[in-house]
């Protein structure tokens, strides 16, 4: 068996060149031009006409393109003149392909002698394209040159061109829509950043540091410090389920509810209960929020706190015998699920030198290449022998998480907050658990 010599057909390399260029062309108009140029080189330089009949009565048309065999354009850019009747009016009178031989087109009723040089024709209707081309007409000076076979080829070419152009147009529209969506998400992310405390507040006796990194441009993590009556301060870290703009919107709702009512509720359990009821009432669909909420008294260093399904904070104690404590008391269900759930709270007296470390599950559940979570032991290991100041602790944990994940991309938001006690009276570990009070 021997293969035929494809080099003997000069059209094959031209068509291969066209196919190769299709993957590089991104603009529909450029694709149309490339297609026309290749077809002229491959199959001969005929007269090529594009007509539009959109919005016009039967028999009327506009020229979109009128290219002579030598490449000269007879249709001025932006030409909107309407023509009617004559030879082309007869061609487009019915939506069926047409061919004609032995034409005599001198002194045409609509176009005068513009079509006089041409003696044969093939024309096909065009559907579904972004350029408004309703008819493709090919004319040739030879009386018998164009016929039924040319209609077959023209139908296939027009269909292929239409598919390619439409695909490019769809891709262009999708890219435009995606760019708009990304711009909106960027704006949401910028707005979300304004909800975080910046700069961090100066709370007597405390040094504070925080790290906030979103998995997507907008995220569902949130932390806050806010003043309370009688010199107390509120401390919150929260995490909305999911990612992206939807989670960011839930966080914005939580921020608004928190700052509208925090000063009127006197325990973290009561405030947590209020946040829960409000989020349930807002019907945040299948979303929910985990949270750790604490009230801190600078004078006594007393910390009362409640949890809503959030990872328990760690307390770095500065005690060689027990360097870390996990504050897993006073836990409840996440916010936004059950409006009548009753939260409890616990109390802890902090001591000088201790550091409270809050984090979201993006930290504790950060996976390694083998699927192992970073988890509480990873956080503890990162804090061992690292600088005692809160910024040093936050940096050490963030760097350890990055090493743990290696080349894996984060799949959740990462938030770390460290609160270090500088001076004041001491205390003891968790000393009581209380039911909610108003």
Span 365-415, pLDDT tens digits: 999 999 999 999 999 999 988 888 999 999 999 999 999 999 888 888 899
Which tops the pLDDT comparison, 33 or 418?
418
Round to whole Å and give the CA distance between 326 and 316: 9
Which of 35, 64, 38, 66 shows the shortest CA–CA distance to 52? 64
Model confidence band, residue 437 (pLDDT cutoffs 50, 70, 90): very low
Round to whole Å and give the CA distance between 268 and 266: 7
Reported pTM: 0.67
Architecture, CATH, for domain 6-172: 2-Layer Sandwich (3.30)
| pLDDT of res. 165 | 73
Residues 424-436 have a mean pLDDT of: 44
| pLDDT of res. 431 | 40
Q: Which of 2.60.120.560, 3.40.50.1000, 3.10.450.50, 3.60.40.10 would CATH assign to domain 196-434?
A: 3.60.40.10
| pLDDT of res. 42 | 64
Query: Picking from 70-74, 135-139, 222-226, which range would have the lowest pLDDT averaged per residue?
Result: 70-74
Which of 344, 239, 364 shows the shortest CA–CA distance to 291? 239
pLDDT at 435 over 50: no
Which of 295, 286, 301, 293 shows the shortest CA–CA distance to 420? 301
Calculate the CA dihedral of residues 11, 16, 22, 23 and round it to 10 degrees.
180
| pLDDT of res. 211 | 94
Mean pLDDT of the chain: 86
| pLDDT of res. 393 | 95
| pLDDT of res. 276 | 95
The 10s digit of each residue's pLDDT in 294-329 is: 999 998 999 999 999 999 999 998 776 788 999 999
Model confidence band, residue 14 (pLDDT cutoffs 50, 70, 90): low
Which tops the pLDDT comparison, 236 or 24?
236
Round to whole Å and give the CA distance between 275 and 200: 23
Q: Which of 152-156, 188-192, 364-368 has the highest mean pLDDT?
A: 364-368
pLDDT at 162 over 80: no
Domain positions in the chain are 6-172, 196-434
Structure tokens at 125: 């209707």
CB of 122 closer than 8 Å to CB of 99: yes
């Amino acid at each position: 068996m021997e293969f035929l010599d494809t080099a003997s057909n000069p059209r094959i390399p031209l068509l291969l060149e066209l196919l190769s260029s299709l993957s590089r062309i991104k603009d529909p108009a450029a694709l149309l031009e490339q297609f026309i140029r290749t077809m002229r080189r491959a199959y001969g330089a005929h007269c090529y006409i594009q007509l539009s009949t959109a919005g016009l009565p039967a028999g009327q048309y506009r020229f979109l393109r009128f290219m002579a065999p030598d490449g000269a354009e007879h249709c001025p850019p932006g030409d909107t003149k309407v023509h009617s009747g004559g030879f082309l009016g007869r061609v487009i009178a019915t939506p069926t392909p047409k061919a004609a031989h032995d034409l005599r087109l001198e002194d045409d009723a609509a176009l005068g002698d513009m079509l006089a040089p041409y003696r044969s024709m093939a024309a096909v209707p065009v559907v579904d394209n972004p350029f408004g081309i309703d008819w493709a007409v090919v004319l040739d000076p030879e009386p018998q040159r164009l016929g039924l076979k040319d209609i077959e080829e023209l139908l296939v070419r027009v269909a292929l061109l239409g598919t390619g152009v439409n695909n490019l147009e769809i891709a262009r529209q999708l890219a435009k829509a995606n760019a708009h969506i990304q711009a909106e998400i960027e704006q949401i992310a910028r707005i979300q950043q304004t909800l975080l405390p910046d700069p961090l507040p100066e709370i007597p006796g405390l040094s504070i540091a925080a790290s906030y990194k979103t998995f997507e441009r907008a995220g569902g993590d949130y932390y806050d410090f806010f003043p309370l009556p009688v010199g107390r301060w509120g401390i919150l870290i929260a995490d909305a389920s999911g990612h992206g703009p939807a989670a960011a919107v839930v966080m914005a709702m939580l921020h608004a509810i928190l700052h509208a009512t925090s000063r009127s509720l006197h325990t973290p359990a009561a405030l947590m209960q209020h946040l829960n009821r409000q989020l349930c009432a807002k019907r945040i669909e299948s979303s929910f929020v985990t949270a750790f909420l604490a009230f801190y008294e600078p004078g006594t260093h007393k910390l009362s706190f409640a949890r809503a399904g959030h990872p328990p904070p760690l307390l770095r104690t500065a005690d060689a015998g027990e360097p870390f404590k996990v504050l897993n008391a006073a836990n409840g269900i996440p916010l936004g699920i059950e409006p009548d759930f009753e939260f409890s709270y616990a109390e802890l007296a902090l001591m000088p030198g201790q550091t409270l470390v809050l984090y979201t599950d993006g930290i504790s559940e950060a996976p390694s290449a083998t699927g192992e979570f970073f988890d509480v032991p990873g956080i503890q290991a990162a804090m061992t022998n690292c600088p005692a100041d809160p910024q040093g602790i936050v940096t050490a944990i963030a760097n350890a998480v990055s090493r743990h994940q290696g080349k894996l991309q984060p799949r959740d938001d990462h938030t770390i907050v460290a609160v270090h006690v500088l001076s004041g009276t001491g205390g003891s570990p968790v000393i009581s658990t209380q039911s909610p009070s108003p």
